[in-house]
Chain A
Amino acid sequence: MEESGHEGRDEEPAWIARCRRGETAAFRPLVERYARMVHTVISRLAPAADVDDLAQQTFLAAFERLDQYREGARFSTWLCQIAINKARDEYRAARRRPELGDAECLDEHREDGPEDQAVRQENGGAVVRALGRLAGPDRELLVLKYVMEESFETVAEILGITVGAAKVRALRARERFREILSKDERYGKRDG
């Protein structure tokens, strides 16, 4: 799981130990370190309007269940599991397809000309729409594997499946995603 620009995870066991001893403030560096990761996961799995609240709920649940965190496991993986569960709960509660954020969520750091930006913006919107049309398990897998760029081992651990199952499901999810995206007339086109 990404480190959000921080160097290592050496301090994490100490932060977690302090939290377990009752030092609430020791949880803040964990929030700051993984806030971006949690937002990214949830933003691709839940309606845009709920992302901030679900991200908050994720950290609150992590703090409340810190005693269940297994030392030696990656904190980011455990946190990602909680984030996905929060997004699933939201699906079930809302009983609706996520209204995923649109093209404004594209990577804004690349420097292209206006034409490239317009194409990328439209393509990004199509990708988001296609993700939104996938079934929940397919979407979770694609987000973890190809948006978060996690290893199959980590994806399998987060989703509670075997590595082999993760690979097979990723293959099928990619095909379904490809089919949906291929039918989007606006994807990959340039004006003129």
Chain B
Amino acid sequence: MASETDKRLTDAALDAGLRALAAPPMAADFADRVMDRIGQSPRCAWRRWPRRWAVAAMVMVGAGAALVAVMVRPAVPAGARLVRFVLRRPGATQVALAGSFNDWGRRVALRARGHGLWSVRLPLKAGRYTYVFVVNGHEVIPDPHAEAYRPDGFGGENSVIVVNGPREVA
């Protein structure tokens, strides 16, 4: 404990202060609600299928998606332009993009292009956006080749990109 004349806190006082923190009250039905949510999750539905049906379904979905990707070009909303985000990260198993373009909502997955290169194209309207890459689901890194950076308020940095209008030069 600190006295009024010596406000420097001892290690023991710090440890005691932190250890005294306990978890907030937990709802008694927490596990029930988690299990309900798992039961309703479409992403969990495949677990309830026999494995061979799940594999067959995934193959069909994959084939359909490939067909659509070949036949349909990416739609670019009016006033937007396609912006390519690229990260070189050999050894990564997944890379995603998070940023202010969708108010830091759902992450956008980048596709592996080989040789450790990951990329995705996003239709963005003119403006200034901040973004980061999320590697392997947990490592948050700014774009090493960003135009600029700004503090994220949590000790790290966000990358900055300025998108010009569709008729302007990027």
B147 interfacial contact with A, CB 8 Å = no
Interface pair A182/B17, CB less than 8 Å apart: no
> Provided the pairs A27-B38, A64-B44 are in contact, do residues A88 and B49 lie with their beta carbons within 8 angstroms?
no
Residues of B within 8 A of A155 (CB): none
Residues of A within 8 A of B20 (CB): 106-107, 120, 123-124, 127
Q: Which of B20-67 contact A (CB under 8 A)?
A: 20-24, 26-27, 30-31, 33-35, 37-39, 41, 43-44, 47-51
- Contact partner of B17 (CB less than 8 A), chosen from A56, A88, A123, A149, is A123
How many residues on the A side are at the interface (Cβ–Cβ under 8 A)? 62
- Contact partner of A43 (CB less than 8 A), chosen from B24, B50, B98, is B24
Per-residue interface assignment for chain A, residues 117 to 147, with 1 indicating a CB less than 8 Å from any chain B CB and 0 otherwise:
0001001101110000001111000100011
Query: Whole-angstrom distance between the alpha carbons of A149 and B20 in the complex?
Result: 12
Chain A minimum-CB-distance residue to B40: A60
Query: Whole-angstrom distance between the alpha carbons of A24 and B39 in the complex?
Result: 8
Interface pair A178/B14, CB less than 8 Å apart: yes
Footprint of A on B, CB under 8 Å? 1-4, 7-9, 11, 13-15, 17-24, 26-27, 30-31, 33-35, 37-39, 41, 43-44, 47-51, 98, 103-105, 132, 137-140, 152-156
Residues of A within 8 A of B155 (CB): 135-138
Query: What are 26 A-to-B residue pairs whose CB atoms are below 8 Å?
Result: A22-B48, A22-B49, A22-B51, A24-B38, A24-B48, A28-B35, A39-B24, A40-B23, A44-B21, A63-B44, A64-B41, A85-B138, A88-B140, A92-B104, A95-B104, A101-B24, A105-B21, A126-B17, A127-B17, A135-B154, A136-B155, A137-B154, A178-B8, A183-B7, A187-B2, A188-B13
Residues of A within 8 A of B39 (CB): 24
> Provided the pairs A19-B47, A181-B17 are in contact, do residues A27 and B35 lie with their beta carbons within 8 angstroms?
yes
Interface pair A39/B19, CB less than 8 Å apart: no
A59 interfacial contact with B, CB 8 Å = yes
Query: Whole-angstrom distance between the alpha carbons of A123 and B21 in the complex?
Result: 10
Interface pair B153/A28, CB less than 8 Å apart: no
Chain A CB within 10 Å, residue with most, of B19, B20, B39: B20
In the complex, number of A-B residue pairs with CB atoms less than 8 Å apart: 142
Footprint of B on A, CB under 8 Å? 19-20, 22, 24-25, 27-28, 31-32, 35-36, 39-40, 43-44, 48, 51-52, 55-56, 59-60, 63-64, 81, 84-85, 88, 91-93, 95, 101, 104-108, 120, 123-124, 126-128, 135-138, 142, 146-147, 149, 160, 174, 177-178, 181-183, 187-189
> Provided the pairs A24-B39, A24-B47, A174-B14 are in contact, do residues A106 and B21 lie with their beta carbons within 8 angstroms?
yes
Interface pair B7/A182, CB less than 8 Å apart: yes
Residues of B within 8 A of A181 (CB): 9, 14, 17
Query: Whole-angstrom distance between the alpha carbons of A49 and B146 in the complex?
Result: 35
Interface pair B23/A36, CB less than 8 Å apart: yes
Distance (Å) between the CB of B163 and the closest chain A CB?
Answer: 20
> Provided the pairs A32-B31, A178-B14, A182-B7 are in contact, do residues A93 and B104 lie with their beta carbons within 8 angstroms?
yes
